[in-house]
Chain A
């Protein structure tokens, strides 16, 4: 212990690390009524780090070439020591991360944490959500399986419905008229470089905004649940008499992450193919169209919306409108009240929207 203390003293003398720890960890106070939903942000950060690490390991053996991609994934799954674990970790992890992200957004919605002055927190979070969907979509193609190939064909085809620029956009996305080797190259670059860099930058912005505005107190267990910010000047929301981030909330985060990992491992080891349709392990064949190609579960509602309308442009426009509305929600919903039970219109709309999304997803799954 003396040696450890000496090392810490040595570092502290040079960069004042004790002051940083006091300010950012032990002295960083959070609301006393903070709940488990607040740990979803930490879970997401942890899940993203796991995705990056497992992705880097996959890069060692993965070959982004249409001729070799499927075989390289098969090689990882069958020949590389623990390759199956790393590949499944990455594939199952992406689905679990999307699930955690949806829960995180729902908790922010229902606790009214997106309200001013946190509009930018919501906006950066929403863009992160879009980027996570983007990284999932681009990653879907990389194994170059029947599922990858045809799901990407259908997904990119949707852009055709956009007037005037649609066909050009499809060709730009695919790198050709049809999904082929150039598409794989593009999606690979997006998946391993462009989107991850964007995600890291946005996570940085999201955390910076969180630090600047302070954590919002949950509206539960309080008499006054309205928004206290008057909008006249910058104000950091501190929580005098709150619990310190370390060790109190760090332990709650650790508990939440461990529970998340337990769920993740349960899927990984006992039902690893939960998210894999049967075409996921058949090599891509541009000449054989599988009868029922479905997107990932979180795109099923979008998929079904496109199918409901006789024209894809209407379906796309509706989805675009819904996404824009969600992105700009803090600028639309400007009421001060944050408690969900005191916001009946919001509750009715959000529960209705959620049920609609679930219903469309189930319909899409069975259609």
Chain B
């Protein structure tokens, strides 16, 4: 049988062990998922002189960064191995020469590349004509919007007249697409099944975007009109949903009024029992 003196050190040891376990548990801990670790390209380049760190700063404000397209998505290489990140055997491509830029971007934007190559801009590739980065920027890649067709940008190479005509022809369609998209998102947020409309709008937007690199005013006008006609079909579905929402509110108002009436009748009836 263990003596009291023998039990005490054991008890103290057990207590110390429990205290240590408790303290370990009390140490700050995080239960929320941490964000993904930055790739080595960003880690190294961020700390480099201006010339090498600027692409990172520019990229952070780009549509690519917004959509999770990182350095290695375009330039290749190994984003997890700092020592070998820029080795060709790890798929590193570096920066393309000017005539190779459309093919570089076109690995992902295939349709857009074809539209560009078929346009006057694309036909002038290698002869002083613009490439993708001339209008869209290189690291701070801008989202393809009509704002990219502007006097300041276009008049670097030619007059803005024809570009203005094309932009004006597309302006209304662009507005209709934006409005339809906003409304579809609003319906989606309240549980409406917008999948079909989203797909239709996606296809229409792609058709519309293919006009961005077209410089034939007449063709742009005709295709814009066709796209608008299809957009009106989407608008009519959205209008039907609006109407359904209004009808539901009217039904709700009637049901609510009925309940208030029941409450009033119950109250009045209860009062008659008070009097009797």
Q: Which residues from chain A sit less than 8 Å from chain B, CB to CB?
A: 73-75, 77-79, 84, 87, 153-154, 157-158, 160-161, 163-164, 247-248, 251-252, 254-255, 258-259, 261-262, 265-266, 268-270, 272-273, 276, 278, 280-281, 289, 310-314
Whether A261 touches B259, Cβ cut-off 8 Å, given contacts A252-B270, A255-B270, A281-B188, is yes
| Nearest B residue to A158, CB-CB | B31
Q: List 7 A-B contacts (CB under 8 A).
A: A255-B263, A259-B259, A262-B259, A266-B252, A268-B252, A311-B25, A314-B26
Chain B interfacial positions (CB closer than 8 Å to A): 21-22, 25-29, 31-33, 35, 188-193, 248-249, 251-253, 255-256, 259-260, 262-263, 266-267, 269-270, 273
Residues B191 and A266 in contact, CB atoms below 8 Å apart: no
Hey, which chain A residues are within 8 Å of B260, CB to CB?
258-259, 262
Given contact pairs A161-B31, A262-B263, a sample of 20 additional A-B residue pairs in the complex whose CB atoms are under 8 Å apart:
A84-B191, A153-B33, A154-B32, A157-B32, A161-B29, A247-B273, A251-B269, A251-B273, A254-B262, A255-B263, A255-B270, A259-B260, A262-B259, A262-B260, A265-B255, A269-B248, A273-B190, A311-B25, A311-B26, A314-B26
Using Cβ atoms and an 8 Å threshold, which residues of chain A touch B25? 161, 163, 311, 313
Residue pair A74, B256 in contact (C-beta under 8 Å): no
- Cα-based distance from A296 to B29 in the complex (angstroms): 24
**Could you say which residues of chain A place their CB within 8 Å of the CB of B262?**
254, 258
Task: Compute how far the CA of A5 lies from the CA of B169 in the bound complex, rounded to whole angstroms.
Answer: 81
The answer to whether B252 and A270 touch across the interface, beta carbons within 8 angstroms, is yes
Q: Which 5 A-B pairs have the closest CB atoms?
A: A269-B252, A258-B263, A255-B266, A78-B193, A262-B259
Chain B's closest residue to A255 (CB) is B266
Contact B26 A248 (CB under 8 A): no
- Work out how many contacts link A and B, with CB atoms closer than 8 A: 98
Distance in angstroms from B255 CB to nearest chain A CB is: 5
Q: Which residue of A lies closest to B251 (CB)?
A: A269
The B contact surface, by secondary structure, is helix
A283 → B minimal CB distance (Å): 10
Known contacts A258-B266, A259-B263; A270/B249 CB under 8 A: yes
Nearest residue (CB) in B for A293 is: B32
Complex contacts, A77 vs chain B, CB 8 Å: 191-193
Query: Are the CB atoms of B266 and A251 closer together than 8 Å?
Result: yes
Chain B residues within an 8 Å CB radius of A310: 28
Q: Which residue of B31, B193, B249, B267 is within 8 Å of A160 (Cβ)?
A: B31
Give, as a whole number of angstroms, the nearest-CB distance from B20 to chain A.
12
Contact residues in A for B22 (Cβ distance below 8 Å): 163
Given A262-B259, A268-B252: A281 and B189 within 8 A (CB)? Answer: yes
In the complex, are the beta carbons of A312 and B31 less than 8 A apart? yes
Q: Inside 8 A of B188's CB, which chain A residues have their CB? A: 281
B253 contact set on A, CB distance < 8 A: 269
The reply to whether B267 and A255 contact each other, CB–CB distance below 8 Å, is: yes
Closest Cβ–Cβ distance, residue A146 to chain B (whole Å):
12
Q: Give the Cβ gap from A66 to chain B, nearest Cβ, in Å.
A: 19
Nearest Cβ distance between residue B68 and chain A, in whole angstroms?
Answer: 10
Using A248-B270, A252-B270, A311-B28 as known contacts, say yes or no to A265 and B259 having CB atoms under 8 A apart.
Answer: yes
Q: A269-B253, A312-B29 are in contact. Are A254 and B193 (CB under 8 A)?
A: no
Contacts of B191 in A (CB 8 A): 73-74, 77-78, 84, 87, 280-281
Report the nearest A residue to B250, measured CB to CB.
A269
> How many Å from the CB of B258 to the closest CB on chain A?
9
